[in-house]
Amino acid sequence: MFFRHVVPVIKREVLALAGVSIGIAISAAIPVEALCGIPGIGQLAWQSALARDLPLLINISMLVIACVVVANSGADLLSEERRQPA
């Protein structure tokens, strides 16, 4: 019942939320990576901000924004696909 009736109804909202959460999750990665010493995009951004390395920082931001845009468009695409047959 849950998968047949509930999931199709809330699918669009859940997908839209998932698309937005990607951006929040990547933002949250900065303090986590910086404090736990995990080498990743977040730590690189932090180091470059501390070193005032603007070109690197702007490139990282562009990369992250590209990820977010792809995630948002993907979520839109999936929810559109779901809606079409109905």
Q: Taking the CB of residue 22, how many other CB atoms lie within 10 A of it?
A: 18
Q: Binding to another protein by residue 49, rule CB under 8 A?
A: yes
C-beta of 78: minimal distance to another protein in Å?
A: 17
Question: Measured between alpha carbons, how far is 56 from 47 in angstroms, rounded to an integer?
Answer: 10
Query: Given candidates 54, 66, 70, 77, which one binds another protein under the rule CB under 8 A?
Result: 54
Q: Binding to another protein by residue 50, rule CB under 8 A?
A: yes
Backbone φ/ψ region at 43: left (φ over 0), alpha (ψ -120 to 50), beta: alpha
Look-up of token digits 């999750």 = 25
Which residues in this chain contact another protein in the complex, by CB under 8 A? 20, 23-24, 26-28, 30-31, 34-35, 45-46, 48-50, 52-54, 57-58, 60-61, 64-65, 68-69, 72
